[in-house]
Amino acid sequence: TSSFNSVCCIGAGYVGGPTMAMIALKCPHIEVTVVDLNQQRIDAWNSDNLPIYEPGLDEVVKACRGKNLFFSTDCEAAIRAAQCIFVSVNTPTKKTGLGKGKAADLTYWESAARNIAAWSTSDKIIVEKSTVPVRTAEAIEKVLLRNCPQEGVHFDILSNPEFLAEGTAIDDLTMPDRVLIGGKIENDRGTAACAALCEVYANWVPKERILTANLWSAELSKLTANAMLAQRISSINAISALCECTGADVSQVSFAIGKDSRIGPKFLNASVGFGGSCFQKDILNLAYICECHGLQEVADYWYSVVGMNDYQKTRFVRRVVSAMFNTIRNKKIAMLGFAFKKDTGDTRETPAIDVAHGMIEDGAKIALFDPQVPEEQVRMDMGEEAMKSITCYSKPTEALKDAHAVTIMTEWDEFKTYDWRAIYEVMHKPAFVFDGRNILDHAHLSEIGFIVYALGKPIDPFLKSAEGA
Ligand code: NAI
Residue nearest to atom 23 of ligand 1 (CA): 90
Output b/e per residue, 144-168; b: 16+ Cβ within 10 A. beeebeeeebebbbbbbbbbbebbb
Ligand 1 atom nearest to CA at 163 = 43
Distance 346 CA to ligand 1 centre (A): 13
Q: Which of 355, 306, 310 is nearest to 333 (CA)?
A: 355
Residue nearest to atom 41 of ligand 1 (CA): 14
Ligand 1 atom nearest to CA at 277 = 41
Q: 41: annotated binding-site residue?
A: yes
Mutate to test the pocket of ligand 1, among 8, 86, 89 (most ligand atoms within 8 A of CB): 89
Residues 6+ apart with CB under 8 A from 419: none
Residue nearest to atom 43 of ligand 1 (CA): 162
Distance 39 CA to ligand 1 centre (A): 15
Distance 189 CA to ligand 1 centre (A): 28
Decide if 6-205 and 216-469 have a common fold: yes
CA distance 37 to 65: 19
16 in contact with ligand 1, CB cutoff 6 A: yes
pLDDT tens sequence for the chain (469 residues): 458 999 999 999 999 999 999 999 999 999 999 999 999 999 999 999 999 999 999 999 999 999 999 999 999 999 999 999 999 999 999 999 999 999 999 999 999 999 999 999 999 999 999 999 999 999 999 999 999 888 889 999 999 999 999 999 999 999 999 999 999 999 999 999 999 999 999 999 999 999 999 999 999 999 999 999 999 999 999 999 999 999 999 999 999 999 999 999 999 999 999 999 999 999 999 999 999 999 999 999 999 999 999 999 999 999 999 999 999 999 999 999 999 999 999 999 999 999 999 999 999 999 999 999 999 999 999 999 999 999 999 999 999 999 999 999 999 999 999 999 999 999 999 999 999 999 999 999 999 999 999 999 988 777 777 665 4
Q: 92: annotated binding-site residue?
A: yes
Q: 36: annotated binding-site residue?
A: yes
Ligand 1 atom nearest to CA at 16 = 26
Q: Is 346 within 8 Å of 277 (Cβ atoms)?
A: yes
CA distance 411 to 437: 6
Write out pLDDT tens, residues 51-89: 999 999 999 999 999 999 999 999 999 999 999 999 999
Cα torsion through 29, 30, 31, 36, rounded to 10: -160
Q: What is the CATH number of domain 6-205?
A: 3.40.50.720
160 in contact with ligand 1, CB cutoff 6 A: no
- SS3 of residue 115 by DSSP: helix
280 in contact with ligand 1, CB cutoff 6 A: no
Q: 247: annotated binding-site residue?
A: no
127 in contact with ligand 1, CB cutoff 6 A: no
Catalytic residue numbers read 278
Ligand 1 atom nearest to CA at 278 = 34
CA distance 452 to 434: 6
3-state helix, strand, coil in the chain (%, to 5): 45, 15, 40
Q: What is the CATH number of domain 216-469?
A: 3.40.50.720
Residue nearest to atom 15 of ligand 1 (CA): 108
ipTM: 0.98
For the chain, the structural domain boundaries read 6-205, 216-469
89 in contact with ligand 1, CB cutoff 6 A: yes
Residues 6+ apart with CB under 8 A from 336: 369, 370, 396, 399, 406, 407, 408, 409, 410, 412, 415
Question: What's the pTM?
Answer: 0.95
Q: Is 163 within 8 Å of 169 (Cβ atoms)?
A: no
Output b/e per residue, 334-355; b: 16+ Cβ within 10 A. bbbbbbbbbbbbbbbbbbbbbb
284 in contact with ligand 1, CB cutoff 6 A: no
Q: 93: annotated binding-site residue?
A: yes
**Which uninterrupted H or E stretch holds 335?**
strand 332-336
Q: Is 230 within 8 Å of 274 (Cβ atoms)?
A: yes
Q: Which of 119, 124, 117 is nearest to 146 (CA)?
A: 117
Distance 384 CA to ligand 1 centre (A): 26
Ligand 1 atom nearest to CA at 115 = 18
Residue nearest to atom 17 of ligand 1 (CA): 112
88 in contact with ligand 1, CB cutoff 6 A: yes
Apex 38 CA angle, 33 and 41, nearest 5: 75
Ligand 1 atom nearest to CA at 169 = 40
159 in contact with ligand 1, CB cutoff 6 A: no
277 in contact with ligand 1, CB cutoff 6 A: yes
Residue nearest to atom 37 of ligand 1 (CA): 15
